[in-house]
Structure 1
Amino acid sequence: MQFDLIYKEIGEYGRFQRWVVWVASSTSVYAGLLILTSFFVLAIPEHRCAIPGWDNDTYAIQDDTHLAAINRTIPLAPSTEKYKYDQCHYLKLDDDGTEHREQCERWVYDKSIFKTSLGAELNMVCDQKILKSNAQMVNFAGIFAGSLLSGIFSDKFGRKTTMCASLTLILFCSFGMAWSSNYIVFMILTFLVGFFNVGQWMPSFVIKIEFVGPSMRRFSGYLSSFMSSFGHIGLAAIAYGIRDWSTLLIVASLPGIIYLPLWFKSVFPESARWLCTRGRTDEAKSVIKRWARWNKVKLPEKFFDKVLAVEEEQGPTQGQIWDLFSNKTMCVRTMLIFIIWLVVCLGYYGLTFNIGDLGDDLYLNFMLQSLVELPANILCLLILDRVGRKPVMIGSMLIGGVALIGTIFTLLYLPDKPVVTTVLALIGKMGLSAGFSTVYIFSSELFPTVVRNAGMGASSCMARIGGMVAPYIADLDRLVGGKFGVALPQLVFGSLSIVGGIAAIFLPETLNRYLPETIEDGKNFGKNNDIHIEKMVEISTIEKTADTSKL
């Protein structure tokens, strides 16, 4: 099918396309709303051992008698810790009158910030503290699996079918999580929510790209990043008002109901491009006719005879992923791109998971970190085509990394200045957000056309690995302890961000350059100064490489 004729006749971004683009993009709000719910659901409030034999013990001090019992039974924490009482031991008096420490069997939790949390209900503390990191990792494992399979499902069953099925299944799985007090059940449902989140995001990205003309594809792509940020902002607002983990999940899941009508053809169309590739030309014609009616365009006679004509021109033969390592230049560049994808995703999500250690007001900090993504995305949209991909990539990663390392000193030496720590963390998050938005465009232009699908798919997998590792690094403060433990995650995130910025130095600029088509082009790319007036990644490539990294 020759879609250039359709865009020329019906328009690149008419009323019909606006409907498709904004509805499809709105699903990113839903994705952004659900992907970070574990931050609140699995939160570990301040806690200590429950006093043995005290049935109505609470974390809050009830009276002087209760305080005396606490001081008599619960040992003080080391002076390097930010909490007062030992969280894992209590004092037991032996028959001979000597005291020794015993491991807690029950805990009491502070309810001033979180009324309830699954992390507290399942006692993910002390010897079981790794359970929280494991649960957050499983969500990204689901996203990893979804990244590998959703493209296959989308190609086989259709963009709309895959998107709608995933949206429906997310709704049921996320509702199920609200009643899953069993850890294993919660892990399974968390995996499925991550899997179906990508399952709805990727085809929704592809379907809108397939309906708009070349001049609007970048806007349509960036719109998903903005919508995802609004989802994070919405989650912060909902979590602030709802301090019960089960109710929070129910409310966060509810918006999925509004997408159920998308199953109807009269509400949302299947991709005409995909229908043609599957030989369903009558259905494709129906979609295109509706497209024209919405855009108030009358199609000329024999329009479909021209549109459905088979194009004889063939592109270069598609390569395989191992072709990325077929020569030294391509191998080095591929490894550098992989490093950038891994560290930017690791830092982006790790900083979010670690936000509880970076200021007094957890909800405000979460909201602010979500809000700074908006100016970061706007800035990238404005300067990428003026400054270039490489300077923005380097600058965003270095600025973000230096800011995060700066928080180490405020955490260690200015603990009474949480505002300074928060400002530095926000600068770091803004840098990483800008880096996330840039790396997709930068790397998609560096990979030759014949291996762009494979290269971007492998890069997305590296990002998923970074996301899976992020919870463990963010929880190093709980595993290591002390002031150094609080600063350690920031040291790792900041250092790796700087590594990502340094890696980008050794990559060539792609702005206003001919995109490499073959492996040989990729090998020689950046060794000349050829200028290309108008550069656009082909739609066939975009279909398979939708950016799911921010999920």
Structure 2
Amino acid sequence: MNFPDYDDKTAFLGDWGRFQKIVFTLLCLSITPNGFLGLSMVFLGDTPAHYCLIPADLNITDEWRQASVALDGDAGDSRVSKCSRHRLDIIQNYSERGLNPWVDVNVSTIPRENCLDGWEYDRSTYISTIVSEWDLVCSDDWKAPLTTSIFFFGVLVGSVISGQLSDRFGRKIVLFATMAIQTAFTLIQVFSPSWLIFCLLYFIVGIGQISNYMAAFVLGMEILSGSVRDIFSTLGVGLFFSVGYMILPLGAYFLRDWRMLLLALTIPGFFYIPLWWFIPESPRWLLSQGRVKEAEAILRKAAKMNRVQAPDVIFPQLQSVENTGKLQTYNLFDLVKSTNIRCITVLLCVVWFTVSVGYYALSLNTSNLHGSIYINCLLAAVVEVPALIMAWLMFRCWPRRLCLSSTFSLGGLVLLMLHFIPEDLSSVFIALVMFGKFAFTAAFAIAYPASAELYPTGLRNSALGICSMSSRVGSITAPYFLYLGSYYRSLPYILIGGLNVFSGLLCLLLPESLGFPLPEAISHMQTVVRCKKRHHCSSTRL
């Protein structure tokens, strides 16, 4: 038995009473740590300027100590070598003979060797990062981007399993369990004795990081209704995520040691424990499990908080199934069972992948832009606020397909324009990068509720988990898109921009959900637009 009239049956609560205000605020607050923990590798894993360490106990003069540091590049553009030095045995021999490195010897002809004694790091920006802690440079420089990818692999795994767990055991228990996982393992991570242990813990943190975000998002979508649901799903969760994102560069500026920064970012997680007694389970999910009395008990408590009178029986047509089992169950195979839902899922996976590549590539690239990393990161976070406001205004009035298509295409076109900006116009380049970040933030904010509106209650969290999994594949590959810039400066932006313009066109094929209630069963889902051979488009229900 289905319950497509849920919104009508619960209309007595109103849209914005005390109950909705509490749920709205607390769920948004629960998302804030995701903002600063999800992008913390911008600072934790940044690579300071470095060069080969010359042992302090080496018996050479100050002139020869300075000359032992090798230089790369030509005479007009020489730079201190990051990964090699002049052979110290030869340097010591020359020093003992009393030769002058600037007069008696051509230093550039002295053979080189690797940094056998480690590296000296510039401490003007950081006291330490994981790169300087475990020397993730030169032959081990591949470990730094791999660390970020391992985190996003954890996020990918969390996207898959958390959706199924949430649909099976409930939104609330998964929300708090994964918040506990994220907080506890981030705290343990502070005491990591090695890079390998750090990565293993970071993988687990990634599992919890996305899982609590998805659970909180779906819980709010199912409890709130009307325009409040739109505000929550676009402006609310996104704005509080951005607040956490803004806290990150501010905290990193004052805490230059990676362990102290990570410890400070962990502490807020412990303040969320009392929220267990204030955030309820989703009544929609309880109904989908046949737990009608529990759902009605939550709604009656909400009515009391809102000072309204609840009906004696809220769901009379469901009372007979209270003790007879679930109303209807779904699993991951239902996402590909019919042609319609299969097309919707594939289209959403593609668009989530491309917007994630764009969003995370621009976010993680702030350390490579001209200027201060702290200002660039803060600017990248601040620009999300007007983007979220725009997304909310668009979501209120525009068709979902148009919202998605316009933001995806705008972000892609802006990145394609970067190819034509000269290198000396760094301020214009940064402005366009931030405008691209603006568009991708708006697209991400719209993609979450637009996707959630297309799936039924029993499958919604699992479906968003699959979409999020596609998004995490995008975030895993984002650093490697940026790596292509070492071959050709504009290549990452051309590829990312082209992909997002293409996804903007694909969005026009998605079903339109504006003005329709949230579906409670697969049979209530809207259908994709498909073009027939007669060259006209039609909608069909499958």
TM-score by length of 2: 0.81
Aligned to 1:535: none
Map Cα deviations across residues 344-399 of structure 1 (whole Å, 9 max, x no partner).
10111111111112221111111111111111121122134545444443443333
Q: 2:87 aligns with which of 85, 92, 97?
A: 92
Matched, 1:522 2:522: no
- Which residue of 401, 426, 437 maps to 1:429? 437
Deviations 1:13-68 (A, max 9, x none): 311121012101211111112111111111111111112x33599xxxxxxx75x4
Distance 1:43 1:503, change over 3 A: same
Corresponding position: 1:25 with 2:28: yes
Match of 1:533 in 2: none
CA shift at 1:443, angstroms?
A: 5.2
- SS in structure 2 at match of 1:268: coil
- Aligned match of 1:7: 10
CA contact (8 A) 1:476 1:488 kept: yes
> What's the CA shift string for 1:149-180, capped at 9, x where partnerless?
11222233332222122222221111111111
SS in 2 for 1:303: coil
The 3-state SS of whatever aligns with 1:88 is strand
Residue 443 of structure 2 aligns with an amino acid whose one-letter code is G
Does structure 1 retain, via aligned residues, the 8 Å contact 2:409–2:500? yes
Please give the per-residue CA displacement for 1:408-441, whole angstroms capped at 9, x wherever unaligned: 554xx434x4322211110111121122223345
Partner residue of 2:185 out of 163, 173, 183: 173
- Alpha-carbon distance change, 23 to 448 in structure 1, aligned in 2, over 3 angstroms: closer
Instruction: Rate the CA distance shift 1:35–1:418 in 2: closer, same or farther, 3 A.
Output: same
SS at match of 1:85: strand
- Decide whether the 8 Å contact of 2:217 with 2:237 is kept in 1: yes
Distance in 2 (CA, whole Å) between partners of 1:432 and 1:465 is: 16
List aligned pairs for 1:151-170, cutoff 5 A.
151-170=163-182
2 CA distance for matches of 1:7 and 1:519? 21
Between the aligned partners of 1:70 and 1:427, the Cα distance in structure 2 is 47
CA RMSD of aligned residues (A): 3.8
Equivalent residue in structure 2 for 1:494, among 485, 497, 520: 497
**Amino acid in structure 1 at the alignment position of 2:110:** E
Alignment match of 1:260 (pick from 263, 269, 273)? 273
Say if 1:172 and 1:455 are closer, same or farther in 2 by CA, change over 3 A: closer
**Cα distance, 1:508–1:15 mapped onto 2, change above 3 Å:** closer
Residue 244 (structure 1) aligns with = 257
CA shift in 2, pair 1:190/1:404, >3 Å? same
Instruction: Identify which of 33, 37, 41 aligns with 1:38.
Output: 41
Task: Supply the AA of the counterpart residue of 1:202.
Answer: M
Equivalent residue in structure 2 for 1:462, among 456, 470, 480 = 470
**Equivalent in the alignment of 1:139:** 151
Match of 2:446 in 1: 438
State the partner residue of 1:290. Answer: 301
Conserved 8 A contact 2:85-2:113: yes
Q: Which residue of 2 aligns with 1:350?
A: 361
1:381 matched to 2:392? The reply is yes
Separation in structure 1 between the aligned mates of residue 363 and residue 138 of structure 2, nearest angstrom? 22
Q: Are residues 1:306 and 2:316 paired?
A: yes
Kindly tell me: are residues 523 and 490 of structure 1, through their superposed partners in 2, closer, same or farther at Cα, counting changes over 3 Å?
closer
- The offset of 1:237, in angstroms, is 1.4
Deviations 1:110-142 (A, max 9, x none): 111112111111111111111111110111111
| C-alpha separation in 1, matches of 2:303 and 2:343 | 48
Partner residue of 2:512? 510
Partner of 1:220: 232
Cα 1:41–1:476, aligned 2, differ >3 Å: closer, same or farther? farther
Which structure 1 segments of 5+ residues have no match?
58-64, 531-551
> How many angstroms apart in 2 are the aligned matches of 1:200 and 1:449?
18
Distance 1:215 1:80 in 2: 65
Q: Distance in 2 between matches of 1:510 and 1:16?
A: 30
Question: Is contact 1:396-1:501 (8 Å) kept?
Answer: yes
Q: Quick one: structure 1 residues 448 and 358, their matched pair in 2 at CA, closer, same or farther if it must change by over 3 Å?
A: same
| Structure 1 residues 239-281: Cα deviation after superposition (integer angstroms, max 9, x where no partner) | 1221111111111111111111123x3x333333444454555
Q: Identify the match of residue 401 of structure 1 among 403, 406, 412.
A: 412
Distance 1:275 1:431, change over 3 A: closer
- d(CA) in 2 for partners of 1:166, 1:317: 22
1:486, distance to aligned residue in structure 2 (A) = 5.5
Q: Quick one: which of 382, 390, 410 aligns to 1:371?
A: 382
Give secondary structure in 1 for the equivalent of 2:256: coil
Structure 1 CA distance for aligned equivalents of residues 284 and 351 of structure 2 = 33
Cα displacement (A) at 1:463: 1.1
Q: Secondary structure at the match of 1:86?
A: strand
Q: Which residue of 1 aligns with 2:334?
A: 320
The number of residues matched between the two structures is 505
Contact 1:25 1:227 in 2 (8 A): yes
The question of whether the paired residues in 2 share the 8 Å contact of 1:323 and 1:451 is answered with no
The answer (yes or no) to whether the contact 1:117–1:245 under 8 Å persists in 2 is yes
> Matches of 1:432 and 1:405 in 2, distance apart?
14
